Amino acid sequence: MPNITTRLGQHCIVHGYEHKEDYLVCDFCNEHKDWVDYHERHYNYGFSRCYYHACNECHDTLFGPFRIVDGGIMDRAYESIIDVIKDRTERKGKEIDYYEAVRVALIESEYMQMHLGSVIKDITEINKGFKPIWKFTYRILNEEKKRVKVVNKDPGNFLVSWILGGMTLREKLKANVITF
């Protein structure tokens, strides 16, 4: 991150005045522009993430156009993956391939279809290299310690299972554990 304090007091040609406080600079072109946003990027097949500031031009050049995603649909799509993991592992009593769970969720869940419908052509595309599910992969690995157990962390053979006693969001709402 550039040293923002050295730019204070300089005339800003973007806004037409001197900035008296901190302002954002693009991490890629190191310029202060009108639209510099904070972004989250997943990499390493969804096993890692980073944060950066980027102007619209740099972000579009480096990563393609920004895709606007409805957060409610995305959360429900994620929960449909969790439901598939729970149903399949409790019924069979063993682990399930994560990418297979995503494929099943895509077939069964309307929210997964709404979330991935415009970016997927064939269901066989869903594998470790399918970038639109990397955010879900990161959440499964790092934020689901109470519901989902990661059996094998290898991206080529990513196996997960349900932890007995874990509750899905729907079950928590029914049991009034979570209220809005």
Q: 50: domain range?
A: 4-63
Q: Are residues 98 and 151 in the same domain?
A: yes
Please provide the DSSP assignment of 105-150 as one string. Answer: HHHH-HHHHHHHTTT-S-GGG-STT-GGGHHHHHHHHHH-TTTEEE
Mean pLDDT for 148-164 is 86
pLDDT tens digits, residue range 27-68?
888 887 777 888 888 888 888 888 888 888 888 888 776 666
Query: Which pLDDT score, from 0 to 100, does residue 92 have?
Result: 76
The reply to whether 157 falls in a domain is yes
Q: What is the pTM of this model?
A: 0.70
Q: Are residues 89 and 170 in the same domain?
A: yes
Query: Does the CA dihedral 65-70-75-81 come out positive or negative?
Result: negative
Using N-to-C axis directions, what is the helix angle for 71-92 and 134-143, rounded to 10°? 60
Q: Check pLDDT > 80 for residue 174.
A: no
Number of domains in the chain: 2
The reply to whether 179 falls in a domain is no
